[in-house]
Amino acid sequence: MISFHLDVRSGVAPYQQIVHQVRQALRLGLLEAGDQLPTVREVVGTLAINPNTVLKAYKELENLGLVAARPGIGTFVLRTLADESLAAHGPLRLELRRWLERARSAGLDDESIEALFRDVVRSFQAEGVA
Amino acid sequence: MTAVIEAAGLGKRYGQNWALSECSLAIPSGKVVGLVGPNGAGKTTFLHLAVGLLQPTSGSMRVLGARPGASPAQLARIGFVAQDAPVYAGMSVRDHLRLGAWMNPTWDTELAADRVAGLGLDPNQKAGRLSGGQRAQLALTLAVAKRPELLVLDEPIASLDPLARREFLQDLMQVVVEQAATVIFSSHLVSDLERVCDYLIVLVGSRVRVAGDIEDLVATHYRLTGPRRDRGRLPGDQQVIVEDHTDRQSTFVVRTSAQVLDPSWTVERMGLEDLVLAYMARAAADARRPKLAEAR
């Protein structure tokens, strides 16, 4: 079971934040086919949000073919978004951590690290397209 | 969708002063409705009219298809918590539940007991010794245990600290899921409403300034900033809520269901708080205008 969190100031609609967090969990293998999502009652009980927000998020996940609602029981994961690449996550994560340590000791703060990372991702994507 | 609360030309006057005037709206069922406005706007008057504690001076109101307070059967379908969550200080939590069971034909004894246990309230505790948050939750329990179709809460969280506030809203949203009730609650803080409400009524200076689905409201209001321009030169479908001009620049808050395509504007979407503030600013501007006319 996963739990959701909400950033009201982010400007991203709350239902989209829930959709995103489920997709993220599916991608990282935290949720697998057959797993149950928190019930609407549980989500509103922790986040203090309108139940329709949760229903809307679950509906969208259903439309994406990721989950299915079983009336009266709950909402269940149909398929994950994790693929063969999941096995490579561990080593990559480790390398990234080492890289972060080097960036830190070189004097970069979080903001500079993020800016650098985004910039490299962007230029990498641009090269890929070209 | 059927309307839970319908008002047509509704007004309430105290002496010379209209606490509420020309109020016309239809609130769909199944919503969590936020009634927002500054202190003295008429929020409490509106809610008291809805539960039958007040009679209108003009116009009419129907709540769950009947005149508010028309019959005991109608009252049984409405749960009401007045401002500051009043409880009897000298009575224990258990005695409050006993009183609730005694006075309400539709009382759910088990639900009330479960809630008190779930909230961690000691049944023997005198209500006067409860914390603000616990008192609010006891009052909500009394309103909820009659299994109302409509729950009316007047400033339920205004006096609570942030943690108690959050806990109250968590609990309230669970009630909405379990009982499929429509909820209307008032607040002078928009931040309270943002997460939990899906329908908004802005009440300022005794008048309803805007009412509607929050998603629709947020999707149809824009802030336009650009070179100075008269409001007369905006497209007809853009309803101006407020405007502000310097010698070079104009800022408009407009409501429109069409897209804003004019490239000379910087177009921004508005959060709920800014939207409410725009309607409050408009109300303040409206209030100044007649005085200027008199001065002339």
Full-model pTM: 0.83
The total domain count for chain B is 2
Q: Show the tokens assigned to A67.
A: 């989950």
Contact B221, B275 (CB under 8 A): yes
Average pLDDT score over residue span B2-30: 94
User: Is beta strand B150-153 parallel, antiparallel or unpaired with respect to B221-227?
Assistant: unpaired
Asked whether residue B99 falls in the same domain as residue B200, the answer is yes
Instruction: Tell whether B39 and B183 lie within a shared domain.
Output: yes
What is the count of residue pairs from A and B with beta carbons less than 8 Å apart? 43
Q: What average pLDDT does the structure give for chain A?
A: 89
Q: Are residues B45 and B110 located together in one domain of the fold? A: yes
Do the beta carbons of residue A24 and residue A61 sit within 8 Å?
no
Q: How far apart are the first and last CA of chain B?
A: 48
Domain A8-77 has CATH 1.10.10.10: yes
Q: What is the pLDDT of residue A81?
A: 83
Domain boundary among B149, B173, B205: B205
Residues of B in contact with A48 (CB under 8 A): 166, 169-170, 172-173, 195-196
Contact flag B195-A50 (C-beta cutoff 8 Å): yes
Q: Of B155, B211, B163, which Cα lies nearest the Cα of B188?
A: B155
Residue entry with tokens 């149950």? A36
Among candidates B171, B196, B271 on the partner chain, residue whose Cβ is nearest the Cβ of A50: B196
CA–CA min distance B168, chain A (Å): 8
Q: How confident is the model at residue B186 (pLDDT cuts 50, 70, 90)?
A: very high
For the segment A11-15, the average pLDDT, to the nearest whole number, is 83
Residue B83's Cβ-side half-sphere holds a number of Cα atoms within 13 Å equal to 12
Percent of chain A at pLDDT exceeding 90: 58
Contact call for A48 and B32, based on CB within 8 A: no
- Bigger pLDDT: B292 vs B264: B264
Is B212 inside any structural domain? Answer: no
The whole domain housing B11 covers 3-205
> Do both B126 and B27 map to the same domain?
yes
Using a CB–CB cutoff of 8 Å, tell me whether B118 touches chain A: no
Helix (H) or strand (E) holding B286: helix B272-295
Burial A76-112 (b: 16+ CB within 10 A, else e): ebeebbbeeeeeeeeeeeeeeeeeeeebeeeeeeeee
Per residue in B66-89, pLDDT (tens digit) is 999 889 989 999 999 999 888 999
List chain A domain ranges.
8-77, 86-129
Does the pLDDT of residue A50 top 70, yes or no?
Answer: yes
Asked if residue B146 belongs to a domain, the reply is yes
Q: Of B173, B205, B237, which residue constitutes the final position of a domain?
A: B205
B293 touches chain A (CB under 8 A): no
The answer to whether residue B97 is domain-embedded is yes
**The B182-187 sheet, strands edge to edge:** B78-81, B150-153, B182-187, B32-36, B199-204, B207-213
Set of chain A residues whose Cβ sits within 8 Å of the Cβ of B192: none
Statement to judge: residues B87 and B122 lie in one domain: yes
Q: Which residue has the higher pLDDT, A7 or B151?
A: B151
Q: Does the structure show a pLDDT above 80 at A8?
A: no
